[in-house]
Structure 1
Amino acid sequence: MEVFRDKSPPLNEGVAPDTKDVRAALQRLVRSSTFAGSQRLQDFLVYVVEESLNGRADEIRAKTIAMDVYGGTVAEMARRENVVRVDAGRLRRKLAEYYAEDGRDEGTVFDLPKGGYAPQISIKPLGRSKTELRERQNKSRTWPRPFIVIAGIFVLVCFATVFVLVSTKEKVPASLPIDGLSRDERGAIFDASPMRLQAVNLANSGRDLIFPALELARLNAALTIFKAAIESDDSYFGGHAGAAQVASTISLLTSDTDLSRDMLRYADTQASRAIDLAPESGWSQSAKAWVEFTKGNWPEAVKFSYRAQRLAPNDVHVLEFVSLILLYSGSFEQVVEISEETLSEVVLDRGYVFQNAMGSAKFHLKDFEGAVSAFKQVTEKGGPVGPVSVAYLMAAHQMLGNESKAKSLSEKLSREWPDSRVDLLFQRLFENPKYGVELGDAMKRAGWKPKG
């Protein structure tokens, strides 16, 4: 176990952290509100710390964590190791959150450096007596004036640096328009063509109507708006990209075979047009990905999805379609990793479908507490709510043993969406139908009875 100290000398300088103190600090951490509902991350951290305390830090590998913490058969180890890598990133973010909030006064600090799984444990010089603090304050009054001036300048520089960093961070999040256009850019578009700006505005309004996607009336309204954007300016890619996404979704959901075929053909044409107009746009690429997914072309759908995410990592509407395609392809760890990375970098004004997809992915990764937490956050932030989110919440509570809560959600699903067959829909959407069966079985154990 490596021990790191702050440059300012702590009271116990030269003394290794006491094992009892480390374990006590660890217990305070895992019982904190920051780590509440994250049992797997708690187990992860406890395991690596205990291994380090027992002199086995050099032996900690993704494979050992997968075997000792997550369990499973030998055949599942490769997949479990991917989960370990994703959870390591989640744990690092949780630790940063903890020491910024619940653990800000902690003297023992845990860290998980990138590139490995052995923890670092550092001792902060906290807990000084009031007498010592008074002595330090008295000494500070006797500091020579030049030192005070230098110290004052240093503080001002630090303050300015923090201000710049915070200001920069606040410029990235979702306070920016979703299309990424500044006021000057919008003004320039208007000067060139008011109809072009109208197309931009219409297309971005349509994006907000796509989800919840199971509401066909909502989808038809969105398609009408995207068609209006195309009529306003056929050379603007956004109208074509949005129309492709909506038409593909209608093709997936309708029971009318002829309508499904026509919608998919139209979607394919619109996606190709969007790519021709703006191949560098994440929106164009995500539209192409969604059309390929609807056609059942999984390799192409996944390829275009990753490209869309790389091109537009902070466009939440792009991420909605990317996360759904990765979810249905069974790439659950990637869904969680991309979604949590976005949440750590972008401040959202409301909930979005990619957070629901993250909750679904966590359910299939057996992180049922994480699934409940994800869906709860979307609901509290006014995100999309429908039979899919209710079904997953019901199933997750059932798997956690919260049978009364699961039964209550089952009754709500049957009452408010009596004709919904989420179980059959997901057997059709997933590349591997077993995940739809897995969800349906948990729903039925919660008391849900499909109609018909």
Structure 2
Amino acid sequence: MKLSGNTSLTVNKGQTPDAKDVRAALQRLVKSSTFAGSQRLQDFLIYVVEESLRGRADDIRAKTIAMDVYGGTMSEMARRENVVRVDAGRLRRKLSEYYADVGRNEDTLFDLPKGGYAPQITVRVPSGVMPDSPVAPHIKARAWHRPGIGAAGIVVLVGFATVLMLTSPKRDAPGRSMVDGLSPDERSAIFDASPMRLEAVNLANSGRDLIFPALEPARLNAALIMFEGAIKNDPSYFGGYAGAAQVAATMAVVTPDPDLTRDMLAYADSQALMALEQAPETGWSQAAKAWVEFAKGNWPEATDFAERARRLAPNDVHVLEFVSLILLYSGSFEHVVSISKEALSKIDLERGYVFQNAMGSAKFHLKDYKGTVSTFEHVAEKGGPVGPVSVAYLMAAHQMLGNVAEAQTLSKKLSREWPDSRVDLLFQRLFADPKHGEELGRAMKDAGWEPKG
């Protein structure tokens, strides 16, 4: 932590004050003007400090903070853990701001080291003076940046990323357009410059493959871990920020919790701006900004950034995924079908992607129900994303075609496998014109689907 103020003072990281001094300093901090209006950050810091003072520093996890500080039902925990991650970053910035201003003369210092949620508590003493306060053995610093998991977890995830890269369909075979835009020579050049940069690139590209289906919290959490790992490996690589922005904006879109939406949008916006600052000329950065603007409901900005992203990276299927979804929900159905067909004519894919699902969805709203069925079935056969959204569109298309038995079978599968899913309400939120979501919802209910709650 950088400290300002009296330069004759130093931080002695081997010593800590007693509990009485800690609590007094904590109260001064949370009541300061720096933390005014940030009740949740106050509660966050008070909780982790008190847990440390009680000897439970090793047990502090994102889950425990989510449960004990933020509350909510168990079904909300996965989403709330992501808010904990965002708030941890906000808290670190607030602490730096505090000690640079109103808390510059404080002797008892709090920090939240990147890598966990247990606070580091130290005493600042005059240079050359040996403090006589005993070391509190239960107050420890953490040394690895990955909220909620330890260093071993990161190693496992990096290994998983490597396996995923090796087992995913090959993307750079001769004679075909490359999905991720990197040739073997380019990868070799990146490795020669910095192996850590290449690992960041690999992690980020693995994260892109995990985002969809977007209604699976575990996938989104894993993707966010990948992107934040890429940022840690190489903070100058734009892809980690672009991917983190897309995941956080997706979380904001799919959650019905307004507080979570606000927090994830703030985080997504900051990450998208970082990506644009580092690489404004890339389609991925532009697509990330487009997706964030879409999540914020800024349709003109979202479509402008989306079109620019497509022009910059016409053969990047991951860019096309977000572009096609933005155009779909804006109601530009013909455009979605057109750009998807154009991409398929140029890119030889070995598996299905979300932009193909978007094309199937667009065909439904264009009343090409046979096209909807064939498109979604083809994507599923090719190993593309399958989730409640694709099942809902298939169900509705079969219902509109008069294939009652198929529609009812899909209705039962949706109710059985995603019993709490309210995709009908989600569709109404996603479309710029809710009537398109209502149209889909009516067809689903006509097929016998009954939402719970």
Which TM-score tier does this pair reach, normalised by the shorter chain? 0.5 to 0.7
CA displacement at 1:286 relative to structure 2: 0.4
The CA distance in 1 between the partners of 2:190 and 2:173, in whole Å, is 26
CA displacement at 1:343 relative to structure 2: 0.8
Match of 1:242 in 2: 243
Say yes or no: does 1:438 pair with 2:402: no
Q: Cα 1:381–1:359, aligned 2, differ >3 Å: closer, same or farther?
A: same
- The within-5 A match list for 1:44-443 is 171=174, 173-174=176-177, 176=178, 178-443=179-444
Match of 1:50 in 2: none
CA displacement at 1:382 relative to structure 2: 0.5
Q: Look up the equivalent residue of 1:271 and give its one-letter code.
A: A
Q: Look up the equivalent residue of 1:420 and give its one-letter code.
A: S
Match of 1:52 in 2: none
> Structure 1, residues 26-77: CA drift from partner, whole Å, max 9, x if none?
xxxxxxxxxxxxxxxxxxxxxxxxxxxxxxxxxxxxxxxxxxxxxxxxxxxx
Secondary structure at the aligned position of 1:208 is classed as: helix
CA displacement at 1:260 relative to structure 2: 1.9
The CA distance in 1 between the partners of 2:184 and 2:340, in whole Å, is 28
CA displacement at 1:173 relative to structure 2: 2.9
Greater CA radius of gyration, 1 or 2? 1
CA displacement at 1:194 relative to structure 2: 1.0
Secondary structure at the aligned position of 1:296 is classed as: coil
The CA distance in 1 between the partners of 2:430 and 2:418, in whole Å, is 19
> Structure 1, residues 349-377: CA drift from partner, whole Å, max 9, x if none?
10000000000000000000111111011
Secondary structure at the aligned position of 2:426 is classed as: helix
Q: Look up the equivalent residue of 1:279 and give its one-letter code.
A: P
The CA distance in 2 between the partners of 1:407 and 1:187, in whole Å, is 52
The CA distance in 1 between the partners of 2:437 and 2:176, in whole Å, is 34
Secondary structure at the aligned position of 1:314 is classed as: coil
CA displacement at 1:259 relative to structure 2: 2.4
CA displacement at 1:437 relative to structure 2: 0.3
Secondary structure at the aligned position of 2:210 is classed as: coil
The number of residues matched between the two structures is 282
Secondary structure at the aligned position of 1:382 is classed as: coil
Normalising by structure 1, we get a TM-score of 0.61
> Structure 1, residues 311-356: CA drift from partner, whole Å, max 9, x if none?
1111100000000000000000000000011111111010000000
Secondary structure at the aligned position of 2:229 is classed as: helix
CA displacement at 1:187 relative to structure 2: 1.6
> Structure 1, residues 110-147: CA drift from partner, whole Å, max 9, x if none?
xxxxxxxxxxxxxxxxxxxxxxxxxxxxxxxxxxxxxx
Q: Percent of counterpart pairs with the same letter? A: 75
CA displacement at 1:296 relative to structure 2: 0.4
Q: Cα 1:172–1:313, aligned 2, differ >3 Å: closer, same or farther?
A: farther
Q: What are the ranges of 5 or more consecutive residues in structure 1 without an aligned counterpart?
A: 1-168
CA displacement at 1:254 relative to structure 2: 2.2
CA displacement at 1:180 relative to structure 2: 1.6
The CA distance in 2 between the partners of 1:172 and 1:413, in whole Å, is 40
Q: What are the ranges of 5 or more consecutive residues in structure 2 without an aligned counterpart?
A: 1-171
The CA distance in 1 between the partners of 2:328 and 2:250, in whole Å, is 16
CA contact (8 A) 1:271 1:291 kept: yes
CA displacement at 1:170 relative to structure 2: 7.7
CA displacement at 1:172 relative to structure 2: 5.2
CA contact (8 A) 1:172 1:346 kept: no
